[in-house]
Structure 1
Amino acid sequence: MRDANCIFCKIIGGEIPSNTIYEDDEFKVILDASPASKGHALILPKEHYADIYEIDEKTAGHAMQLAKKLAKHMTDVLKCDGFNIVQNNHEIAGQTVFHFHMHLIPRYKNAKNNDILIWDHEEFTPEEMAEIRDSLKM
């Protein structure tokens, strides 16, 4: 199902033009219109899922398999020096379009934006780490 108000659903449906680099029955992969680097692309499932919490496990797995395949291909073609695969959920985490998508970001030495995805490390006491670990055990 698609969301009539979703820009990515409109791109998938052909209502908005895009620079498509890959498409199959389940996904469309486009170049990001506001790229962080040369070749920055987005993996878009053709079905609408707001985020990681809504997407079914099978589609999420296929998205990661496609990300691996494209990362290898893009690295070979673009000769990038590294690669980020990023998937944001909710506004606080940087999600701006609420349609599940994965960013494929080729990285180049001495390029602009080499500081993206760098954060200051937080420190926790051993007791706090144990408490966090215990609360997260499944």
Structure 2
Amino acid sequence: MYDETCIFCREIANKGNAAFVYRGVNILAFMDNAPIEEGHVLVIPRNHYENIYDIDKDIYLELQLAVKRISIAVKNVLKTDGLNIGQNNGRVANQVVMHYHVHIIPRYYRKKINWERENANIDDLEIIAAKIRAGIKEVEL
């Protein structure tokens, strides 16, 4: 299941244009290129599912386990005080990319989130991604 009009299908799953923290058979996780906070990760199924209503149950469960593992790694590596984990369904719910995805957003007591998003430099994202990749190897579920 692939949708040529979907940026996640075309650029991430097909071309690999991202700073990846995880690549599984069915699941990909990568740094958001317009992060809300440093360490903002997106977790997606490789195949195209538009939203929670469409995603295959087994893929959904596999993706949620990946979210848990990556969240633990983000918390440990970036020394966060907490995390926001979010997922939007439909334009009215602020889903911008119509490919099922989960946001992992680090949070810190000392810092308010700036919800204004700006594109980050891929080299900077890759540095953080490398730290998170190393952290994932340490996480056992």
| TM-score, normalised by the number of residues in structure 2 | 0.77
Question: 1:12 — aligned with what?
Answer: 13
Question: 2:58 — aligned with what?
Answer: 58
Q: How many residues align?
A: 115
Report the alpha carbon displacement of residue 28 of structure 1 after superposing the two structures with TM.
1.0
Task: Report 1 or 2 for greater relative contact order, CA contacts < 8 Å, sequence distance ≥ 6.
Answer: 2
Report the alpha carbon displacement of residue 32 of structure 1 after superposing the two structures with TM.
0.3
Letter in 2 for 1:3: D
Question: 1:44 — aligned with what?
Answer: 44
Q: What fraction of aligned residue pairs are identical, expressed as a percent?
A: 38
Question: 1:28 — aligned with what?
Answer: 28
Instruction: Judge conservation of contact 1:107–1:114 (CA < 8 Å) in 2.
Output: no
RMSD: 1.6
| TM-score, normalised by the number of residues in structure 1 | 0.79
Question: 2:89 — aligned with what?
Answer: 89
Letter in 1 for 2:110: N
Structure 1 residue runs without a partner (length 5+): 116-138
Larger radius of gyration: 1
Report the alpha carbon displacement of residue 112 of structure 1 after superposing the two structures with TM.
3.4
Report the alpha carbon displacement of residue 61 of structure 1 after superposing the two structures with TM.
1.0
Instruction: State the distance in 2 between where 1:71 and 1:114 align.
Output: 20
- SS of the residue corresponding to residue 12 of structure 1 reads helix
- SS of the residue corresponding to residue 106 of structure 2 reads strand
Moved over 6 A (4+): none
Report the alpha carbon displacement of residue 114 of structure 1 after superposing the two structures with TM.
7.0
Structure 2 residue runs without a partner (length 5+): 116-141
Question: 1:118 — aligned with what?
Answer: none
